[in-house]
Structure 1
Amino acid sequence: MKSARIFAAASLLAALFTVPLVNCSHALAADAETVQAKEGWYGKRVDDAFVARYAILPKPDGVQIVDSRPTTRKFDPGHIPTAINIPDSQFDKFADQLPQDKNTLLIFYCEGYECMLSHNSAFKAEKLGYTNIRVYAEGYPDWIKKGHMGAVSIPFVKKLLDEKAAITLIDSRPKERKYDKGHIPGAVSLPDSQFDKLAAERLPADKNSALYFYCEGLTCKLSSDSAEKAVKLGYTNVKVVPEGYPLWAKLYGPGPTGENAVSATPAIQQGKETGTITVASFEKIFKEAPESIHIIDVREPQEFAGGTFKGARNIPINTLEKRIDELPADKPIIFVCGAGGRSGEAVDMVKLYKPALKTYFMDADIKWSKDGSYTIVEKK
């Protein structure tokens, strides 16, 4: 009996020491293999930690992340940085976007556990001769849930700009050497090297504001570095635009240069109440860059005639709803009145009927003289 026990123990030890070494890439994917595989899934899978090794700027060589979801509805408004988009439904049409080297690591993903698009595309790539394929089965929802940075496409940025959406687009490149020679229209210059110095001035006060950072394309890491710094400052809606200015220029032509740049335009600082602009912020803009905003005075005509801000336009509050289509959409609108009541109502009305417009008001007591002078006392 004793010899039998000794033999069993020896056999167990031998078995332990003769376990074959696993492939390194399989080891990295071990966590993903603990997920219960579904019928039809691709056999080799990875988790978010594995993908994060390659979803960085500058884009690493020898790997390509592929988003298998629909372009406009899914990829454009949010995807893993450095990923290209080959919708599974159009795989055969766009397969030429895959790397020529069939040994390149391909990582496919889509919309999570219930989504089969990435698995389907992985099998198709395998049939084309690719030999190093993985699927991130948890996909983009898991990527965001795990706290990783999301990315948006250049066409999506163009769409937001055309819609006058309330976003802040930040150019992280050097100002004189890059930004002044051409940038995406409406972008604020905030070089990554000066982020700590200029962030308070150039970024909006509202930490929920949508921030989109870009630089010089997939070989440039300035935008992702700045985006991470913004997150550390407490901003909660931050994304990168990995393809940056080079793709913008290719798709839509060169952007404005330093001669008509907005980098010198002070950023609008929102007050404590939603929809307000601080008095200090307004006065800085009114003094240094009055052409960057529209001022709409919503008082009665006789009040307006008694004095207002230079360049202001009069649309009384009781006529605003009928004249809502007269409001300009190319620049932020600052509504003003004598005490903040009517101008605040104007902001609420525009948010109801034309929410895409950028509108603000001052919660302050304002008095004007006919000569254009004024006094403002911000309410506490």
Structure 2
Amino acid sequence: MRHVVRTTLLLAASAAALSAVEPQAPKPAAAKICTTCHTTAPDNLRGHFDNLALKNSSFQLKIDERTEVLRFDKATVKVVTPEPAADVEAAFKSIAKGHEVRVQFIEKDGVKTAVTVAVKPPVKLAANETITLDEIQKLVAMGPEKGGYFLFDSRPAPRFLEGAIPTAVNLPFPAFDKNLDKLPADKGALVIFYCSGKTCNMSPGSLAKAKKLGYTNAKVFVEGMPAWTKKQPGVLSPAALKAAYLDTNTPLVILDARPAAQAEKGFLKGGVAAEPAKVADLLKTFPAAKLKPPVVVVDETGGEAAKTVAADLVKAGYVGVNILTGGFKAWQAAALPVETGTLAAKAVFVPKPRPGSVSVAEFTKIAEAALAERGAIILDVRNPDETKNGVIKGALTIPEPQLLARLSEIPKGKPVLCHCSTGIRAELAYHLLKEKGYDVRFLPAEITIIDSGEFTLD
């Protein structure tokens, strides 16, 4: 009996040891969308440029769901941008948040330092291979039959579901060869591809494939969906609205352009009254355009009322405005949920919080609590020239660039709340500490602290 027990224990210990040394899967070096067209060298990363902290010579790179924090030396880093910049700082400032970049780096003691940051340039095509926004608008206004065109969205299906140019069919570039049946039989027909804008290679890739198949009148709308949404509303189907927004709990604004008496008999959950004649009043309290709220406009059939309301929002500077194809009737026909009663009178939009963020209200409650009752460590990651003017009472101060060298000063037994002055460096700190196993969050807000330790938040 003892022999059996001893053998069992040995096997369990061996299994635990094997589990402990089991290698972790390598982290992806490139965003999925980048791998469609590029391979990535071992000392390179490809992703989307995120927060820039010039004070700390750092920036964030988003690689799908994860974030890399990279340092740079202003004296040696090379920043390659489509347009020449006056200096390194100007070059970094010119990179739009979310733009695709390639970063070559060196790594020492767990710190990645960027050597080269190359901004993805606009695609280059011959003039006879492109079509302008004005030309696309005219064709879409006529429709495929009268306009004699076939319009294809080369973006992956999840992006298409969020909204597309009217009359477009989704033909994702990564799955192009599996969907050849979507192309017209007539190889002399006008075939148009578009994707995510001037630097996106998916529609040019689709063009190349179409030409190899023998299509002689294929073109690319290079400016793509970003240019369209600045001038015109897009469209999405009831199934797309459900899949892209409702099923994922993605915040959005649903505007109902029907007369109130009609709409109250049945409407989409969260619907806001938005009759065409009342849009001007609605806009007075509408969520700020800089928040880029996704907006879906619904009328009975996806007709003129919805088009009028959507056009007014686009004129007011809102992007990401879509019309529900087929309107409320199509929603009902798809047997999707309907509510009755009174529509909301005011549109409310609360963006989905950035991963790891703490709300202003929760941070304030914790920071104002007595030290013995605080239950969390307030970590101030500002530079010494900032902290000398005031620190929250009891806060631990470690400048963000020094975090990895001073981890021993940060206890792991309590939650850690990072803050800086704007939220940018606090988010850098969050990613660094999360990587090291800390229970950490960051404050994504501007904070001013005076010498008494009192603070105000914007």
Name the TM-score, length of structure 2 as normaliser.
0.40
Specify the structure having the higher radius of gyration (Cα).
1
Higher relative contact order (CA 8 A, sep 6+): 1
Greater strand fraction, Structure 1 or Structure 2: 2
TM-score, length of structure 1 as denominator length: 0.47
